Amino acid sequence: MFDPTAFDNMKVIIEGALYDHEMAGDIIIIDRNDWVNIAKMSRQFNISFTFPQDSERTTSATIELHSGISNLAAELTPESNSGKLSGAFVKLFFTLLHPNETNYYQTIETIILDIWGHSRTITQHVKWNPLNRQETIKNVVTIDFNRMITEEQMEDLLEMTRYMFVTLERLYEFLRAK
């Protein structure tokens, strides 16, 4: 039996919280990935969800954990005194389908900032086919915390999932009202 890493423990906390909400009927898990990159000795985990009432899948949320070799090495070699590197990085993604209009981007930015504050890096990446004139675009909003999460901050991960629900709900309601 092996001792689970901080990454493993954080992944279990996130999965448990989200699958509990799925069992309660609050959300639907729509994707889950767990990658190990042997070339770089890194791990990445993500899990995505949406609301059951969003039958057209206009909104979804994803939480992603990433841990590199320096994070694993710090954890497995405590004698190196690099324990401050023991943990994982977290990013959140909100995928939205909406018209390509400036007021949408501005309102989305306002909603995200109201919930998550100004101390995170927030970006919006738009995807569309420029050769196919389409009214609806795919907007992926990324929230980057720009810091590592450690096992001492496990409660923050649970709180983060709660904030994700609030964010997704506000974004869904905004897009539905338009």
Whether 1 is in a domain gets the answer no
H/E stretch holding 45 reads strand 42-50
Enter the pTM of the model.
Answer: 0.93
- Torsion on CA atoms 70, 71, 74, 76, rounded to nearest 10: -110
- CA count, 13 A, side-chain hemisphere, 68: 5
Whether 38 is in a domain gets the answer yes
Q: Contact 91/143 with Cβ under 8 angstroms?
A: yes
Q: Is 82 left (phi over 0), alpha (psi -120 to 50) or beta?
A: alpha
Q: What are phi and psi of 13, to 5 degrees?
A: -60, -50
Collapsing DSSP to helix, strand or coil, 38 comes out as coil
pLDDT score recorded for residue 82 = 59
Asked whether the predicted pLDDT for residue 10 surpasses 50, the reply is yes
104-128 mean pLDDT: 96
| pLDDT single digits (tens) 23-61 | 999 999 999 999 999 999 999 999 999 999 999 999 999
Whether 153 is in a domain gets the answer yes
Token pair 């320096």 in the structure block, residue: 70
pLDDT score recorded for residue 3 = 66
Dist. CA 158–CA 162, nearest whole Å:
7
Task: Say which range, 58-62, 132-136, 168-172, has the weakest mean pLDDT.
Answer: 132-136
Whether 79 is in a domain gets the answer yes
Whether 167 is in a domain gets the answer yes
Dist. CA 26–CA 91, nearest whole Å:
22
How many angstroms separate the first and last alpha carbons of the chain? 53
Q: Contact 61/164 with Cβ under 8 angstroms?
A: yes
Whether 16 is in a domain gets the answer yes
pLDDT score recorded for residue 1 = 43
Whether 96 is in a domain gets the answer yes
Q: Both tokens of residue 74?
A: 């710090």
Residue 76's pLDDT band (cuts 50, 70, 90): confident
Which residues form the domain of 118?
A: 6-177
Asked whether the predicted pLDDT for residue 78 surpasses 80, the reply is no
Whether 25 is in a domain gets the answer yes
What angle in degrees, to the nearest 10, is found between the helix axes of 154-177 and 6-23? 40
Token pair 């890493």 in the structure block, residue: 5
Dist. CA 174–CA 130, nearest whole Å:
26
How many domains does one find in the chain?
Answer: 1
pLDDT score recorded for residue 131 = 85
